[in-house]
């Protein structure tokens, strides 16, 4: 089974942009709340602190799912594997559960970095591999190039953005999506619909948003610095949104609110 669809790993805790005490406290609160999947990246500069917090958290390594992501600057034959080895050392583990390419390469030729990613798995540095911020076309290319199926394409996914093309590509390629910016960094709370729907289920606006994402078949990454939000974001398995409420939320995807716009970083592709 795809690792992100295991029940305990469907709700991942993201670590960007946390560092120091904020990171340690957030990871402790997340572990207490029940999170077992954690997401970091070379780019976040917090792998060592994340590794230290997880090593001390009291949960056995085999019960955790740790994801990290390779920085696009390391997509060269000289740098790729050494950078992954450095990530593992920082994380205090000998293999990572999921290794992602953080962004498509500048120029969009995905083949070379995908082959390097696969070599990391072949060397036993990663149990599973995947991508992030890929377009539908790149997902099809990844499917064709790789011998193993990527376990995810981690993308911006929330109810204020229509990602239907990527959902269709996920079905077509067998590469499932997973979310980041799941509450659109707070933008969702400007829309009263979520709180209104939540009243019917005794759930908060955030819980409704996250449940909508899960019911789209998309495992989650969420991040919060507040233990009450961390806990609330995890407590979303005890209700199911009706198809009527799912449809009402779907109408908001026409808002077209996107946080990571083309041009924001050199690697951001032309989105679908
Ligand atoms: N692959 C990529 O390129 C990529 C890009 C961005 C992020 N990510 C990953 O995805 C993770 C999450 O994404 P994100 O942090 O960008 O966006 P996000 O989860 O949409 O937004 C986080 C913000 O939402 C607030 N929030 C969270 N839960 C809340 C709740 N229940 N009620 C009210 N406010 C709430 C938090 O504030 P409080 O602290 O006040 O609760 C925090 O400021 C990151 O940590 C990172 O691991 C990946």
CA-nearest of 4, 6, 90, 23 to 230 is 23
Q: Which atom of ligand 1 is nearest to the CA of 207?
A: 31
The pair of structure tokens assigned to 162 is 């229509």
C-beta of 66 in contact with ligand 1 (< 6 A): no
Residue closest by Cα to atom 22 of ligand 1: 185
Q: Which tokens belong to 272?
A: 């679908």
pLDDT digits (tens, 9 = 90+) for 238-264: 999 999 999 999 999 999 999 999 999
Across 216-237, average pLDDT:
98
In the reported structure, the alpha carbon of residue 226 is separated from the centroid of ligand 1 by a whole-number distance in angstroms of 11
Alpha-carbon span 172 to 162, nearest angstrom = 18
Average pLDDT, stretch 224-232? 98
Nearest CA to ligand 1 atom 20: 181
Q: Is the distance from CB of 196 to CB of 225 less than 8 angstroms?
A: no
d(CA 10, CA 208): 16
Atom number in ligand 1 closest to CA 206: 31
In angstroms, what is the span from residue 233 Cα to ligand 1's centroid?
Answer: 11
- Mutate which of 11, 16, 67 for ligand 1 pocket (most atoms within 8 A of beta carbon): 16
pLDDT for 199: 98
pLDDT tens digits, one per residue of 205-220? 999 999 999 999 999 9
Instruction: Please report the DSSP string for 202-224 in residue order.
Output: T--HHHHHHHHHHHTT--EEE--
Q: What is the pTM of this model?
A: 0.98
pLDDT score at 179: 98
Query: Stretch 66-92: mean pLDDT, rounded?
Result: 98
* Whole-number pLDDT of residue 41: 98
Does 201 qualify as catalytic in the annotation?
no
Ligand 1 proximity of 68 Cβ (cutoff 6 Å): no
Domains of the chain: 3-255 (3.20.20.100)
pLDDT digits (tens, 9 = 90+) for 105-163: 999 999 999 999 999 999 999 999 999 999 999 999 999 999 999 999 999 999 999 99
What value does the mean pLDDT of the chain take? Answer: 98
Confidence of residue 2 (pLDDT cuts 50, 70, 90): very high
């Amino acid at each position: 089974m795809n690792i992100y669809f295991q029940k305990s790993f469907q709700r991942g805790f993201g670590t960007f942009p946390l560092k120091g005490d904020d990171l340690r406290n957030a990871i402790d609160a997340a572990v207490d709340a029940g999170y077992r999947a954690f997401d970091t990246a070379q780019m976040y500069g917090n792998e060592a602190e994340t590794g230290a917090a997880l090593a001390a958290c009291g949960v056995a390594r085999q019960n955790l799912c740790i994801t990290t992501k390779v920085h696009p600057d390391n997509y060269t034959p000289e740098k790729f594997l050494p950078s992954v080895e450095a990530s593992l050392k920082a994380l205090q583990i000998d293999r990572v559960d999921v290794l992602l390419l953080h962004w498509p390469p500048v120029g969009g030729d995905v083949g070379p970095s995908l082959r390097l990613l696969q070599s990391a798995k072949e060397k036993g540095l990663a149990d599973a591999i995947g991508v992030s911020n890929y377009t539908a076309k790149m997902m099809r290319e990844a499917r064709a190039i790789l011998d193993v199926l990527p376990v995810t394409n981690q993308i911006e996914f929330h109810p204020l953005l229509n990602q239907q093309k990527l959902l269709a590509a996920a079905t077509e390629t067998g590469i499932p999506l997973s979310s980041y910016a799941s509450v659109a960094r707070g933008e969702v709370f400007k829309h009263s619909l979520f709180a209104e729907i939540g009243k019917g289920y005794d759930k908060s606006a955030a819980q409704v948003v996250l449940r909508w994402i899960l019911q789209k078949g998309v495992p989650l990454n969420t991040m919060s610095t507040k233990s009450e939000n961390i806990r609330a974001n995890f407590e979303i398995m005890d209700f199911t949104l009706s198809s009527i409420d799912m449809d009402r939320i779907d109408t908001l995807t026409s808002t077209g609110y996107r946080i990571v716009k083309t041009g924001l970083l050199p690697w951001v592709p032309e989105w679908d």
